[in-house]
Structures are given as C-alpha cells and as structure tokens.
Structure 1
C-alpha cells in the first residue's frame, strides 16, 4: 500500500463508522427504542450529517484527475458504470427485496414497486452511489477539456449556496448539494503537500474552528444539517479539513484494523443496513432487549464486522461480482481488451 495514501483509508474508516452509527441510531428512533424527544441523539445526528457524506464525496474527488490523466474521460466513465452504478442497481434490488419480504419485522413499509423505482427514486443508503455516479458523469464532461480546478470549485460553491433558488428536482438536488465537495477533493491535490507537511498544526486549528462552527450552527442559530447555505458549506469544509489533517497525523503510525475498515468501506456501506437492522430485530423481537446502549453498541459492531467478514470470505473465494461488474459484462474491461488488440491489427 502506498504510504502517502494511508490517510485516505483512515478518512474512509472514520466516515464509514459515522455512517453506520448514524443509521443504527436512526433505526432505533424509528423503532421507538430511542424516545424521539431525546435531544442529544438528534443533535449528534445533525452534527454527523453536516459533514460525513461530504467527506466521502471529497475523498472520491481526490483521485479523479489522476484517473482522467491515465485512463481518459471514456475510461473513467465506463469504470464508474462498473464500480458505482452496477453495485447501486444490484444492491438496491437485493436489499430492497429482503426489506420487502421482512417488512413485518422492520420499521419500513418497503414495497417491490418502491424497490424497482430505483432509477428515478433511489432509496435507503444507495442515494449516495446514485449521486456519486451523476457527479462522476458531470465531472468527466466538465474536466475533460481543461484542468479548471479552482473555477469549478467556486462554481460548485455558488450553486450549493443558492441551491434553494434552483429547480426542485432530485438530479439537480444531488448535484447542487454534493458536487462542491467532490470539486474540493479534485482541487485539494494542489495544496495537498502543504497540508501534509504541517498536518498537526492544521488539525489543531481546524479542530477548534470545527467545534466553534458546530456550536454556532446548532447551538446559537438552532440550525440543522438540512439548512444548507453559506454557513453549512463552511462547516462541512472545515470538518473535512479537520478530519483529513487529523488522519494524516494518525496514519503516521497506522493501525491495521483502521486501514481494513477504510479499504472495505464500500462493502460495509452496501451491507451495513442489513446487518445493523438484523441485529436490532433479533435483540428486540426475539430477546426482548430494549437497552439503548446495547442496541447502539451491537448495531455498530455488527454493522461493521459482518460486512468485513463477508467481504474477506468473498475475496478468498474470488467472488467480485457483488461489488463490481463481472468481466463478461464490464464495459471498461471490454474497452481495455479492444485497446490491447488494436495495435496488433495495424
């Protein structure tokens, strides 16, 4: 593993832990195990959602330009069909069908009609993959002609701030709310070396700024993460800088289990709802356990550990089609085969 990228896996690990925690607590609130009037859980939820998904869009943008330079626009686009759009479709259907079959035991009222409306109404955690594919597609078009890193970041920020004045359409909303963070990741490479060389100082300063901004945003102004505008953008950007610089410091003495969580963040993201919801149903319906602490701990541990175990088993068996398009239907692999054969026919 490239040492300079260890902090990226640390960032993914922090992000995926927050994702699992957030979904576990939301599931407990929906099930009535956590009383909905408890302010602390809702406050923590809003703080987490103010930056953890922006962090994933940022991390996705970090290597975009490098991929564009090496693979070209067509190569990047086709690879994202294989590695983003394909698992979005597959897992939306897999998880949706399971939820529909077990709807009597869960919080949801998932129907097969909702499951198969995924192309115009992405549901559950899979909205992220849908939005990410849209942003990759848009970025291929925007960046293919020139490296307009800072202008596109500024444009993304303006669209984010004034998104409420745009059309209320889910495609526009996904792009308006998240493209700026992807563009931040693309642009960040131009200052990456400067941040890495003084990561400790940046982490300390941005950490203090993050705490102050979250206090002002949630405490003084009484806002929530859905209240998007200039201040929420500053909060998210500051939080991303804090997490990234802190990860640069922590990754100097890397822990294997943290790197594993980061490297397997995609399988965890795809499977954690089934794992976390499953343990909640087992504890509450079959064992009558309603302890909030037990549910949160068990939900987070199972939501992280079971997908990791499953991913390791699938890897040992050579099964990759659950996370990316198999070779026989991979558009990117077909393109690579054509490019490999082309010189021989000259």
Structure 2
C-alpha cells in the first residue's frame, strides 16, 4: 500500500530534475561550448513540452480542497506568502548576483531588468509569477463551482490554450492562457485518481508507449517544437503528464528517501538551482578551462540539485525560513488575521 501522496513527491522530483538539467543545458549551449545544436534543440523541446505543465498540474491537485477550506480570500492571501514572497526575495537575490557577475555569465543583466520583476519576471521566476495569476483566476472561477464543472473548465481552458496567440494582449494574459489548462487538468484529475492508483502498472506501460510515439511524431515526423502553439502541443503535454503521473504512482511502491527529499524540496531547488548550476559552468569554463559537455551537464545538474538541498538542511537547522517564507509578523496571513481581530 502506498503512503498517501508519495507519488506526488516522486512526480515533483522527476519534474525538478528535468528543470535543472534543462537550464544547465541551455546555459552550456548559450555559452558557446561545443554542443551539437540539433541534439540540444531536440532534447530541449522534449523536456519543455511537459515539465512545466507538470508542475502546474501538480499545483492543481490540492487546489479545490484548499479553496473550500480557506475560502477565496484566504487562499489568495496564503499564496501571497508561499508564492509571491519567495518570488520577490529570490528574484532580487539572483538578479543582484547576475548584475554583479555579469562579466562571467552569458547575459548582461541590468539592475533595471531586475527591478522590473512585477511586470516582466526574469529567468525561472516566471513560473511563480504565472502560478500566482493562475491561482487568483481559478480562485474566482471555482469559488462557486462544484465537481461537475471540473471537466468543462478543462475544455474551456484547453480552447483558450489552443488560441492563445490570437487572445494574448500582455504578459499576464500570456501566462494565464498558456498554463491554466494544466492547472485545471490537475483539479479534474482527482475525479479519476482512484482509477489511476488501481491500474498504475498498466497505465505506465500504456502512457509510456504513447509518450514515446507522441514525442517521435511531434518532433521527428512533423518537425514541431514545443514553442509551436495549438492542439498538438496541448495533446503532447497532456499525455506526457499522464505518463509521468502513472510512472510516479508505480514508483510509489518503493520508498527511496533521497528521491522523496528532492521532491519535497522542489521549491527550494527551483529558487536556487540557477545560481548553483551557473556557478559550476563559470568555474569549469572560465577558471578551469574545461569544455567537456558531459562534465558540464553532469556536474551542473548534480550541483544544481545538491546545493539547494544542502541549503534546505541549513535553513531548517538554523531556522532561516525567512529565505523561503515571510516571518510571521510580516506575513499576509498574519496581517489579515490581525485586521479581522481588530474589526
């Protein structure tokens, strides 16, 4: 019998490892190191076809229960603490490092770009920005909805995804139209979760085959890329997500503590991995003269995962949680509670 939600941490672990590898590979390619371009583009598109949609999906899994428990306002306030706070703190921290070390990195980051985070989020932090917007939109849409509306909402957001290029007017609408469908898919998935849990072995094989076939047809036969909009991108992301979920449920039969720790620490890794992975690339190429692609990819990915995990342990041991969540006195939830008491 699986422990409750172990498979969710496995899915997060798979997703965050792909995130780190994808960003390390992009950094190596952008640095002009001797990397096969066609191979890089193919692997990059395969990873990006589903790894961030997977995280929106996972975020949607527990959304409706949380909405019913906290209410619309309470949920949004909670996300200010758990999403907006680390978004601001780490956008500024990473941005400051990038400005100071711009002579050693791939890009010339300016302080103005760093301070533009509220209308033009940079680097990996676009995900937190987009996720908060999706939470707000769905908090209003699902507040009066019951479970019979879950699938129609998936279909609605699916249609908006397909036609997002025609409907996008700014960054906010682009983030909402391009990602809410996967969040809504996660909300709906609770309706069929028991079916998956009862048949995860068969479904892993079934969706695994579809994953391989779908990725081959998409990238090789039709020569498409994840950046292409439309129904094929949505279909590929959806079947890839289902494969990852079925695989994670199958892996849930086994308890691998270090892998679970990676999944449970996925937010910390997401916040810090660029600094760690980029640091490895700079040290290897600028100071050691190493241009081995294998060395860069392996060491960059390992350090990109391990360094944030060490930081997570240090944060826990020395009570440095202000790096990830706001101190109680300044948290939005605490301020809301004080205001309610005062009234």
Name the counterpart of 2:145: 146
The 1-side partners of 2:321 and 2:96 are apart by: 21
Match of residue 83 from structure 2: 84
CA distance in 2, matches of 1:57, 1:305: 24
Bigger drift between 26-35 and 115-124 goes to 26-35
1:279 aligns with 2:280: yes
Residue 241, structure 1, aligned to residue 251, structure 2: no
The residue number in structure 1 matching 2:135 is: 136
Whole-Å separation in 1 of the counterparts to 2:200 and 2:92:
42
**Conserved in 1, the CA contact under 8 Å of 2:56 and 2:182?**
yes
Distance 2:323 2:34 in 1: 33
Residue equivalent to 1:7: 7
Distance 1:119 1:38 in 2: 34
Partner of 2:94, secondary structure, is helix
Q: Structure 2 unaligned runs (5+)? A: none
* Aligned counterparts of 2:110 and 2:339: Cα–Cα separation in 1: 42
CA distance in 2, matches of 1:331, 1:277: 33
Partner of 2:225: 224
Give the structure 1 partner of residue 18 of structure 2.
18
Q: CA deviation at 1:167?
A: 2.9
Tell me what 1:122 maps to.
121
Name the residue aligned to 2:301: 300
Match for residue 169 of structure 1?
170
Q: How far 1:205 moved relative to its partner?
A: 0.5
Which segment drifts farther, 9-18 or 310-319? 310-319
Q: CA deviation at 1:149?
A: 1.1
**How many residues were matched structurally?**
340
Taking a change above 3 Å as real, the CA distance of residues 245 and 275 of structure 1, as seen in their structure-2 partners, is same
Q: Measure, in 2, the Cα distance between the counterparts of 1:25 and 1:31.
A: 10
Whole-angstrom distance in 2 between the partners of 1:301 and 1:96: 22
C-alpha separation between the residues in 1 aligned to 2:179 and 2:242? 16
Instruction: Report what 2:57 is aligned to.
Output: 58
Give, in whole Å, the separation in 2 of the partners of 1:73 and 1:292.
48
Can you list the C-alpha shifts for 1:151-198, whole angstroms capped at 9, x where unaligned? 211110000011122134111111111000000000000111111110
- Corresponding residue for residue 261 of structure 2: 260
What is the TM-score normalised by the length of structure 1?
0.96
**CA–CA distance in structure 2, aligned partners of residues 94 and 217 of structure 1:** 38
Q: Deviations over 1:258-304 (max 9, x none)?
A: 10000000000000000000011111111111111111111000000
Which 4+ residue blocks in structure 1 deviate beyond 4 angstroms? 336-339
Equivalent position of 1:38 in the other structure: 37
Cα deviation digits, residues 190-223 of structure 1 (max 9, x gap) = 1111111101111110110111111111001101
Once residues 163 and 49 of structure 1 are traced to their aligned partners in structure 2, the CA distance between those partners, rounded to angstroms, is 18
Aligned counterparts of 1:150 and 1:211: Cα–Cα separation in 2:
26
Consecutive unaligned residues of structure 1, counting only runs of 5 or more, are none
- Matched residue SS, 1:290: coil
Query: 1:30-72: CA deviations, max 9, x gaps?
Result: 111143x531121000000000000000000000011011111
3-state secondary structure, aligned to 1:48 = helix
Q: Does 1:102 align with 2:101?
A: yes
